[in-house]
């Protein structure tokens, strides 16, 4: 599962069944470097039954189930008034709102290539896991 990230709502996750992991991009503002733009730190952790974690507003999160495990989470959005959900990939993703020149500058490749990558996945929230991707790649190699 990926995204969305929320403009104003914090999201509370409770693992009710299964195992996996999550990754979250956390912006950090440094006063010592002299730069006003944030740097990002990747936070990740193992998930198992009973784990609770919080994604603050505007922090993108990806959640992945372990192989051969069903991962079930219960989620609550807190402070959701006037919240906007931004999807990171798939249909209606936030990258689509960028001008093609901005995509080229942000990713360092042709804007059309950026669009193809972000539009490649049709789903907004649920994506194939690692084993599914490996199976698909294996079947392509066989043909």
**Does pLDDT of 25 surpass 70?**
yes
Counting residues of the chain whose pLDDT is more than 90, the rounded percentage is 21
User: Taking the model in full, what pTM does it have?
Assistant: 0.60
pLDDT (tens digit, 9 = 90+) per residue, 115-134?
887 777 655 555 555 555 45
Confidence grade of residue 20 (pLDDT, cut at 50, 70, 90): very high
Q: What is the mean pLDDT of the chain?
A: 77
Residue 5 lies in a domain: yes
Tell me the residue range of the domain where 75 lies: 1-83
pLDDT (tens digit, 9 = 90+) per residue, 34-76?
556 667 888 999 999 999 999 988 888 888 899 888 899 998 8
Residue 143 lies in a domain: no
103 and 66 housed in the same domain = no
**Does pLDDT of 17 surpass 90?**
yes
**For residue 104, which of 96, 113, 92 has the smallest C-alpha distance?**
113
34 and 103 housed in the same domain = no
1 and 50 housed in the same domain = yes
98 and 79 housed in the same domain = no
13 and 48 housed in the same domain = yes
Residue 142 lies in a domain: no
66 and 91 housed in the same domain = no
Helix axes 100-107, 111-119, angle to 10 degrees: 90
């Amino acid at each position: 599962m990926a995204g969305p990230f929320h403009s104003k709502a914090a999201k509370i996750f409770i693992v009710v069944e299964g195992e996996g992991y999550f990754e979250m991009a956390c912006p950090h503002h440094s006063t010592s470097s002299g730069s006003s733009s944030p740097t990002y730190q990747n936070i990740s952790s193992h998930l198992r039954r009973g784990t609770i974690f919080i994604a603050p507003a505007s922090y993108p999160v990806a959640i992945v189930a372990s192989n051969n495990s069903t991962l079930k989470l219960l989620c609550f959005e807190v402070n959701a008034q006037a919240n906007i959900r931004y999807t990171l990939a798939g249909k209606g993703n936030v990258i689509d709102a960028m001008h093609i020149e901005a995509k080229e500058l942000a990713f360092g490749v042709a804007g059309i290539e950026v669009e193809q990558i972000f539009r490649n996945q049709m789903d907004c929230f649920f994506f194939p896991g690692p084993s599914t991707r490996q199976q698909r790649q294996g079947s392509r190699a066989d043909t």
